[in-house]
Chain A
Amino acid sequence: MRDQKLWTWHIAAGAVILVLLGMHMTVMHLDRLVHFAGLNPAGGHPVDWANVVERGKSAAFMVTYVLLLGAALFHGLYGLRNILLELNPPGILKKAIGAVLLIAGLGLFAFGTWAAVAGHALARTF
């Protein structure tokens, strides 16, 4: 039952990633073909500091960054857990895999959220 719920969340997270990562990829890599107004305002390369600062000033950008971070970490690490559990490890290792991935996921989420919030605060000083 628990895994059925987690699997449903896995698919839901995939849908969130599809939209947000799709936009991220378009802004970062297809910017010569599709131009989203306001997401690359300084012109030049999307990763130029001037563009990073302009995008970073937006609170909405920060929120979607954290949302994408959480969805992608859950989707990716739960997917990795499923692959590892299919190798049929003994019970204790199964629990250890779950615990390590959960701790790694929470740690990376905390770190990435800090980076998003601190990046937003820094961008607003420019």
Chain B
Amino acid sequence: MLEPTRAFKNRLGLWGWLGGGRWGYERYLYTLHRLTGLGLLAYFLLHIVVTSSRAISPERWNSAMASVSGPLFTIGEYLVFVAFAFHAINGVRLAIIELGWGVGAPIEPVYPYRTSVDVQRPLAIVALLLAGVLVVLGGLSFFVLGQR
């Protein structure tokens, strides 16, 4: 019979949650994935309420859009875009790994041990580069070209 899961004290406090420890920087991607996910969820719930005004009248829509405009909201929207870019691309990386691709074939645990992290690291680098390209394109569209 399985033992019920025991709760362990988080002795390290905040660093226990946020620190990468010996897991390398994939662990920081994991933390960032969660933080961006929570941020996107919070934005999305508000977004449902704000955009529902289009079902009422043009006046209500225009008033709702006016209440979320201005430089502060533009920066906020850009941060949402950045969170989306990272969360989406990193999510693809996680799904690829979840399906067993990109982690290499299983090997015998013979010393000196090799870790699958080394095999999957190029995927993390490509994901970060792609997310970086999206972030730059977004910045260009938000702040340089402006919107139509």
| Docked complex Cα distance between A77 and B41 (Å) | 8
Q: Does B62 contact A (CB under 8 A)?
A: yes
Interface digits, B121-148 against A, CB 8 Å rule (1 contact, 0 not)? 0000000000000000110111001111
**Residue in A11, A52, A80, A118 whose beta carbon sits within 8 Å of that of B61 in the complex:** A52
**Residue in B44, B49, B98, B145 whose beta carbon sits within 8 Å of that of A33 in the complex:** B145
Q: Is the interface of B mostly helix, strand, loop or mixed?
A: helix
B128 to chain A, nearest CB (A): 17
| Docked complex Cα distance between A30 and B137 (Å) | 8
Q: Is the interface of A mostly helix, strand, loop or mixed?
A: helix
Contact-size category for B: 35 or more
A108→B77 contact, CB < 8 A:
no
B62 to chain A, nearest CB (A): 6
| Docked complex Cα distance between A46 and B146 (Å) | 12
Within 8 A of B (CB), among A44-99: 44-47, 49, 52-53, 56, 69, 72-73, 76-77, 79-80, 83, 88
Contact-size category for A: 35 or more
**Residue in A15, A21, A83, A115 whose beta carbon sits within 8 Å of that of B55 in the complex:** A115
| Docked complex Cα distance between A76 and B83 (Å) | 14
A115→B140 contact, CB < 8 A:
no
Interface digits, A22-55 against B, CB 8 Å rule (1 contact, 0 not)? 1001000111110000001001111101001100
Chain A to chain B: the 4 pairs with minimum beta-carbon distance, closest first: A118-B55, A115-B52, A76-B41, A32-B145
Q: Which residues on B are within 8 Å of A, measured CB to CB? A: 5, 7-8, 34, 37-38, 40-41, 44-45, 48-49, 51-52, 54-58, 61-62, 65, 77, 81, 84, 88, 91-92, 95, 98, 137-138, 140-142, 145-148
14 A-B residue pairs with Cβ-Cβ distance under 8 Å, sorted by A, are A14-B91, A14-B95, A15-B95, A18-B92, A21-B88, A29-B138, A32-B141, A33-B141, A40-B148, A79-B37, A80-B37, A119-B54, A122-B56, A122-B57
